[in-house]
Amino acid sequence: MNFKVDLSGQVALITGAGRGIGRAIAIALADAGALVCVNDINPDTARATAEEILASGGQAFDYVADVSLKMQIGSMIEAARDRWGRLDILINNAGVEPKASVLALDEWDWERTINVNLKGTFLCTQLAGRVMRDQGSGIIVNIASIAGHKSPLPNASAYCASKAGVVGFTRECAREFAAFGIRVNAVCPGVIITPMTQKSRDDPDIMRKWMEDIPQNRLGETAEVAAAVLFLCSGAASYVNGHALIVDGGKVMG
């Protein structure tokens, strides 16, 4: 992606960065000069992303934590501060998406989805937000979804509810945190080529329906979501606050 942003020396924490969109965001921020804490619940993938950044000359370390557990998030933020002394950017990206109709959805799946996607975003924002408030500056980007913004997703009620919650939470954080020099925005991707969408992409009927609905007539790449995040982290977005930026090839049209 030919889009130049300078984040030299800024410390960034990206949750769920072992694969998919989070991995692309971690790499994009590192390419822009950020010092990157690569979080994931999966130790192997977190390590792989951090090693990829190190191998290309960037700075990164991996930290395994479950974003739904406050103690683990607190330790992770402390680890980033111990290493680099501050925290400038938080990307709340970790997410899960169980598939079942409302009538069949297991209660455990509902709770897990809300805990990871919504409570995890709250916990990371609260703990990182305190650090950013004390610094007097910070940038938070929440990865929501068009499923929580405009476009319901079949068999994904918990996911839709969690992502709608993330959009609402983003707006209130933007209002509350502005006084501390912290901007908070969301990115709402459409259908992006990642492991999360693999099963649906393997279904020709689902693919045909998607293509009918996407004016650009293709699915999105992880780098295209990362570019939107990079913009929101940049000085070019200095007056963008409380926004939910849709990146979906025109699927829901604003």
Active site residues: 159
CA-closest candidate to residue 34, choices 88, 91, 93, 92: 88
Question: Taking the complex as a whole, how short is the minimal distance between the CB of residue 70 and ligand NAD, in angstroms?
Answer: 12
CA-closest candidate to residue 165, choices 196, 122, 201: 122
Judged on CB neighbours under 10 Å (0-12, 13-18, 19+), 64 is: middle
Query: In this structure, which amino acid lies at residue 28?
Result: A
Question: Taking the complex as a whole, how short is the minimal distance between the CB of residue 177 and ligand NAD, in angstroms?
Answer: 21
Toward ligand NAD, which CB reaches closer, 96 or 182?
96
Q: Choose which of 105, 196, 206, 223 interacts with ligand NAD (CB under 6 A).
A: 196
Instruction: Tell me the chain's radius of gyration from C-alpha atoms.
Output: 17
Does 195 bind ligand NAD (CB under 6 A)? Our answer is yes
3-state secondary structure of 181: coil
Query: In this structure, which amino acid lies at residue 118?
Result: L
Q: Choose which of 27, 37, 88, 93 interacts with ligand NAD (CB under 6 A).
A: 93
Q: Judged by CB under 6 A, which stretch of 17-25, 74-82, 206-214, 238-246 contacts ligand NAD?
A: 17-25
Does 241 bind ligand NAD (CB under 6 A)? Our answer is no
Toward ligand NAD, which CB reaches closer, 136 or 205?
205
